[in-house]
Amino acid sequence: AQKITQTQPGMFVQEKEAVTLDCTYDTSDPSYGLFWYKQPSSGEMIFLIYQGSYDQQNATEGRYSLNFQKARKSANLVISASQLGDSAMYFCAMSGGSNYKLTFGKGTLLTVNP
Amino acid sequence: GAVVSQHPSRVICKSGTSVKIECRSLDFQATTMFWYRQFPKQSLMLMATSNEGSKATYEQGVEKDKFLINHASLTLSTLTVTSAHPEDSSFYICSASDRTSSYNEQFFGPGTRLTVL
C-alpha cells in the first residue's frame, strides 16, 4: 500500500520569501511517481511538478522545485519568491501500481503574507 | 495542456433525487477516468476508477449502487448520485488519464459542488 504524509497542516510565508512544504512517502513499488498539486479556494486542482522514482535530477518548473531524497523517502516542494497568489492548499500525491491511481496526502494550507 | 471539463459546476437538489455529473476530456482520449470526493478542509478521496467500455472499479467502502459510474466513450464519464441525501453533499472531482503523457499524468476537472437539501 502507498502512503503520503504531509505533516504541516498550515504554513505561513512572507511575500518574496521561499518556502518548503514537506512530503514523505511510503511504497513497496520500485517504480512510482510523485506529484504536487495546488488547490486554490475555487477548488480546481492545478498540477505543479512531477518527479519520477528513477529520475536522477530534482524536478524544477519555474518557481517550483522538488527536493527529492529517495533514501529518506521525501519529496518536498520548494516555492521560491512567494507571491500572494500562491496562497492555497497544496497536495503531495503518489502514483504507482495498476491504473496509476493517485494517493494524496492531507494537504498543507499555505498563506502568503504581504 | 490537456483540458478536462465537468458539468455542472454546482448543483442543489432535494433529498431523494438523483444527480448526474459529467466529466469530459476535451482534447485527448482518456482510457481511464477517476472520480474523487472531497469534504471541506480534507484531502481528495478516490471513489472509483473508470475504464472506457468496462465496469468501474470502486474503492472499499464506496457504494456501487449509490454512485453509478458510466464511461461510455474515450472522452466522457458520468457519475450519478442516486437517491441523494444530505450526507452526500460534497465536492466531486474527476480526472482523466492521458496515456500518451510521459508519466501518465492525471488532468483534473474543475469539480462539482453538490448540495443536497
At B28-64, the pLDDT tens digits run 888 889 999 999 989 999 999 998 888 899 999 999 9
| Contact assessment for residue A102 and residue B107, using Cβ atoms and an 8 Å cutoff | no
Q: Is the pLDDT of residue B104 over 80?
A: no
CB contact under 8 A, B111 and A33: no
Structure letter (DSSP) for residue B59: P
What amino acid is encoded at A109 in this protein?
A: L
| pLDDT value, residue A83 | 97
**Which of chain A's residues have a Cβ under 8 Å away from the Cβ of B113?**
43
- B110–chain A nearest CA distance, Å: 5
CB contact under 8 A, A50 and B105: yes
| pLDDT value, residue A98 | 61
Q: Is the pLDDT of residue B102 over 90?
A: no
CA distance B97 to B105: 6
Nearest to A86 by CA among A45, A17, A40, A50: A40
Residues of chain A with pLDDT under 50: none
What is the mean predicted confidence (pLDDT) over B68-97?
Answer: 94
